[in-house]
A and B are shown apart, each in its own frame.
Chain A
């Protein structure tokens, strides 16, 4: 059976993950809606997951360390999203907005 991983060079995965990561990065830098920011961060984390899985598959004897790392990232991302959404709900209750540019009261 033709293995799809063997027919593609690893560099394709690196480029794909970097592109996905950069989409997330620019989203974080340029969008102002907190929920969109959260989604962009998830996208960045998933780009990393893809990269880990690809590297793990391409290691000489199929090193499982990378795949293990992916599970940890997933768990942490879920915990982070839970906390982040809770913070957002708290902010929304006080301001009725989810726009982060609205929050600029902290300055000297």
Chain B
């Protein structure tokens, strides 16, 4: 709960304090607010301090953070703080973008802690509405305009589908509280067939959430929107929206655990299709940004595998995967942003990186190892945990996921190939210094890769 308050108050302060200053002057303020939120949520999640007096301000039936959910809040706040700190700020006046990013993050926290369908809906909207604005924040760039309008139309459309699902579930269970739904569903499960209204509601609400996490067949907006939005916002979308979406999705499906046998069938199918589609289409992409977009679709497929496992007490697997995904994605987007010239995102931007800047090349190699799931990085351990826990439910889906991650190595190695190639005409951008936070993030991904038991102990 403390995380939500600090982020929200910070967002309002940053919005108004930076009204006439440059964006860069508010950058440190907003990054430190988010870092504070991350540290305090982590402290509370690990049980070193108790801020429950703040939590009493909000009714527990609406929003309530369990220990595991606080870990997610901490992760997302830390990642956003890093994104704000490492990406260069734009030249436009005003700190509105930073404020909107923080408000959007508040929505992500509401989604994570939601205990009630109204809260879940509000969380999704508070997350999305600032993002529609942010996607189009590069006002004179036609690509950014197009990304904004596509994201807006798809987002609003998926919201409507999500709401129809809410209405059906309300009609079928006569309640909107997720805990109450769980109780009622388990009672119904013992006596009778589930009402078809509830089943339709679950499918429709899942459709809305699948849109948000960009899983097949609702992924089509993602590559375009990721490509058109400014780099900083793309990173935020790829990491925060996806992780918050999956936490909300797993909380939502837990309430319908009585229906899990029926749910698992279509989730496995979608997961397999998402993995195959994301990885195969990523092979033919020429732009780094689009490749990363398709790779994030494939990662959504791996994460869907998590939803078929028994989620109670297993949330640390999702957390481990989120950490791995967030760290490597942010680092890769950072390099993509740093070395691209005039909105060109071809793989050739990395050519000769190893010869002109050795430390950057090594950092990027480790990030690529991590996202591809190669050992001693956190990406490998997270994938290992995820696949082993899903193996009991559906061995075939895990086999396909393994084939998918083997395919993914092909397009990640396109990056390697360019890094270690010798280039005669040196890219001037390569010489510039790397932000120290990037070093930290790569170090963390190696440490967590070598000591994976840390994840289990946090929950």
Query: A90 and B139 in contact (CB under 8 A), knowing A45-B163, A80-B156, A83-B129?
Result: yes
User: Most chain-A CB neighbours within 10 Å: which of B174, B223, B227, B287?
Assistant: B174
The contact of A100 among B118, B121, B122, B149, by CB within 8 Å, is: B149
B167 touches A52 (CB 8 A): yes
Which stretch from B30-38, B140-148, B379-387, B429-437 is at the chain A interface?
B140-148
- Chain A residue, CB-CB nearest to B117: A69
A94 at the interface (CB under 8 A from B): yes
CA of A60 to CA of B132, assembled, Å: 40
A47 touches B164 (CB 8 A): yes
Please encode chain B, from 121 to 136, with 1 for each CB lying within 8 Å of some chain A CB and 0 for all others. 1100100010011001
A45 touches B121 (CB 8 A): no
CA of A83 to CA of B163, assembled, Å: 19
Q: Find chain A residues with CB under 8 A from B148 CB.
A: 87, 90-91
CA of A105 to CA of B343, assembled, Å: 13
CA of A52 to CA of B163, assembled, Å: 10
Q: Find chain A residues with CB under 8 A from B132 CB.
A: 83-84, 87
Q: Find chain B residues with CB under 8 A from A80 CB.
A: 125, 129, 152, 156, 159
- Closest Cβ of chain B to A93, distance in Å, is 8
CA of A44 to CA of B163, assembled, Å: 9
B153 at the interface (CB under 8 A from A): yes
B118 touches A103 (CB 8 A): no
Query: A108 and B133 in contact (CB under 8 A), knowing A51-B164, A69-B118?
Result: no
Q: Find chain B residues with CB under 8 A from A34 CB.
A: 149, 153
Interface size on A, residues (CB 8 A): 46
Please encode chain B, from 94 to 123, with 1 for each CB lying within 8 Å of some chain A CB and 0 for all others. 000000000000000000000001100110
Q: Find chain B residues with CB under 8 A from A107 CB.
A: 224
B160 touches A41 (CB 8 A): yes
B18 at the interface (CB under 8 A from A): no
Q: Find chain A residues with CB under 8 A from B287 CB.
A: 108
Q: Find chain A residues with CB under 8 A from B150 CB.
A: 100, 103, 106
A59 at the interface (CB under 8 A from B): yes
B157 touches A72 (CB 8 A): no
CA of A95 to CA of B146, assembled, Å: 10
- Chain B residue, CB-CB nearest to A81: B156
CA of A92 to CA of B277, assembled, Å: 34
The contact of B149 among A28, A48, A79, A87, by CB within 8 Å, is: A87
Q: Find chain A residues with CB under 8 A from B339 CB.
A: none
- Chain A residue, CB-CB nearest to B165: A48
- Closest Cβ of chain A to B238, distance in Å, is 16
Q: How large is the interface on B (under 10, 10 to 19, 20 to 34, 35 or more residues)?
A: 35 or more
A100 touches B163 (CB 8 A): no
CA of A55 to CA of B168, assembled, Å: 9
Q: Find chain A residues with CB under 8 A from B146 CB.
A: 91, 103-106
A55 touches B167 (CB 8 A): yes
Q: How many contacting A-B pairs (Cβ < 8 A)?
A: 130
B409 at the interface (CB under 8 A from A): no
- Chain B residue, CB-CB nearest to A72: B118
CA of A83 to CA of B132, assembled, Å: 8
User: Chain A: interface secondary structure?
Assistant: helix
Query: A55 and B171 in contact (CB under 8 A), knowing A34-B153, A108-B285?
Result: yes
CA of A21 to CA of B228, assembled, Å: 30
Among A30-76, those with CB < 8 Å from B are: 34, 37-38, 41, 44-45, 47-48, 51-52, 55-56, 59-60, 63, 65-66, 68-69, 72-73, 76
CA of A10 to CA of B223, assembled, Å: 42
B170 at the interface (CB under 8 A from A): yes
Q: Find chain B residues with CB under 8 A from A84 CB.
A: 132, 152-153, 156
- Closest Cβ of chain B to A46, distance in Å, is 10
A21 touches B164 (CB 8 A): yes
A48 touches B167 (CB 8 A): yes
CA of A68 to CA of B166, assembled, Å: 13
CA of A16 to CA of B61, assembled, Å: 32
B290 at the interface (CB under 8 A from A): yes
- Closest Cβ of chain B to A15, distance in Å, is 13
Q: Find chain A residues with CB under 8 A from B149 CB.
A: 34, 87-88, 91, 100, 103
- Chain B residue, CB-CB nearest to A66: B170
- Closest Cβ of chain A to B100, distance in Å, is 11
Task: Give 27 A-B contacts (CB < 8 Å), ordered by A residue.
Answer: A37-B153, A38-B156, A41-B153, A44-B157, A47-B164, A48-B166, A52-B170, A63-B174, A65-B175, A72-B122, A73-B121, A80-B125, A84-B132, A84-B153, A87-B133, A87-B148, A88-B149, A90-B148, A91-B145, A95-B142, A103-B150, A105-B143, A106-B143, A106-B146, A106-B150, A107-B224, A108-B290
User: What 7 additional pairs, Cβ within 8 angstroms, besides A37-B153, A52-B166, A106-B150?
Assistant: A34-B153, A66-B167, A76-B121, A76-B129, A100-B149, A107-B224, A108-B285
User: Which 6 pairs of residues, A with B, have the shortest CB-CB distance?
Assistant: A44-B160, A103-B146, A106-B224, A51-B167, A48-B163, A55-B171
Q: Which residue numbers of A lie inside 8 Å of B, CB to CB? A: 10, 14, 17, 21, 24, 28, 34, 37-38, 41, 44-45, 47-48, 51-52, 55-56, 59-60, 63, 65-66, 68-69, 72-73, 76, 79-80, 83-84, 86-88, 90-91, 94-95, 100, 103-108
